[in-house]
Amino acid sequence: MAPNHLAFSFLFCVTLQLIQANDILTSPLVSNWGIWGEFQHCPSGTKVIGFQLKTEPWASWDIVIDDTCQNGIRFYCGNPSSTGPGEPVDIISSSEGNWGKWGQIFWCDGLGFARGFMLRSEEGNTAMVDESATNNMRILCTEGTQWIEGDGEGWGEWTTPRICKGHQYICGLQTQVEPPQGFFTDDTALNNIRVECCDMTQEDLLSYGLINSTLQTD
């Protein structure tokens, strides 16, 4: 291949990747401990229609009274369409902490799907001996009850929402989880998340009434 053809091919591929790159939204870093897990993605075209939290309840007694509250998140991927919400087709979760148990599954209403989120988080630099970082989560759905709140804990404050653009939906998840710190050191488990925002297809935009179809008349 001639050098100029090679350069052109390279530029073409870079341009294509830039066009196809999805947006990534990161939760406000009010605490920032731990390691980012693997980014997991819903199957192509499917949207997040529900979520579930793994939580260590505050009231639980562990030997050193070291609570971690939120430990993990599952996103349920599905394909709501004019025929109904449909069944979830996959569950994505990235990495999770060692403590707690999975709670209730919360679903978007009707044909809704998730397009934003908000975490409830405890500051990372308080004088507290027992910190817990992320405590709870809300997702913003496109229909019905818009902010749907999980069954996490109540420490810390709700942080600034992170919302995909109007023509996008949540399609991926990455979690930052602090590994176990041992008996004498404070644990916090889940600290932050990143979500991926995918672009809707033309067909999606039409079916959700976000653009109008152009009627052909003679």
Alpha-carbon dihedral of residues 207, 84, 162, 13, nearest 10 degrees? Answer: -60
Question: Which amino acid would we find at residue 121?
Answer: S
Question: With respect to Ca ion, which residue has the nearer C-beta, 187 or 196?
Answer: 187
Choose the binding region for Ca ion from 49-57, 65-73, 171-179, 207-215 (rule: CB under 5 A): 65-73
- The first and second tokens of residue 85, run together, are 């919400």
Least gap, CB of 66 to Ca ion (angstroms): 4
Tokens in use for 190?
Answer: 């889940």
Alpha carbon distances (Å) from 44 to 51, 93, 170: 18, 16, 12
Tell me which DSSP letter residue 81 carries.
B
Overall residue count recorded for the chain in this entry: 218
The nearest distance, CB 38 to Ca ion, in angstroms, is: 24
Give the three-state DSSP class for 68: coil
Cα–Cα distance for residue pair 195/81, rounded to 1 Å: 22
178 interacts with Ca ion by CB under 5 A: no
Q: What is the DSSP string of 9-57?
A: HHHHHHHHHHHHPPEEEE---SS--SEE---EEPSTT-EEEEEEEEE--
186 near Ca ion (CB under 5 A): yes
Report how far residue 182's alpha carbon sits from residue 188's, in angstroms, rounded to the nearest whole number: 11
149 lines the binding site for Ca ion (CB under 5 A): no
Residue choice 56, 187, 196, 204 for contact with Ca ion (CB under 5 A): 187
> How far apart are CB 72 and Ca ion at their closest, in Å?
16
Contact region with Ca ion (CB under 5 A), list: 37-45, 62-70, 81-89, 91-99: 62-70
Closest approach, Cβ 185 to Ca ion, in A, equals 5
CB of residue 73 vs Ca ion: minimum separation in angstroms?
18
Query: At 89, is the secondary structure helix, strand, or coil?
Result: coil
**Which residues in the 129-148 window bind Ca ion by CB under 5 A?**
130
The residue among 153 and 204 lying less far from Ca ion, judged by its C-beta, is 153
Nearest CB to Ca ion, comparing residues 130 and 149: 130
From 45-53, 58-66, 165-173, 199-207, span contacting Ca ion (CB under 5 A): 58-66
Of 56, 66, 153, 178, which one interacts with Ca ion (CB under 5 A)? 66
The residues binding Ca ion (CB under 5 A) are 66, 130, 181, 186-187
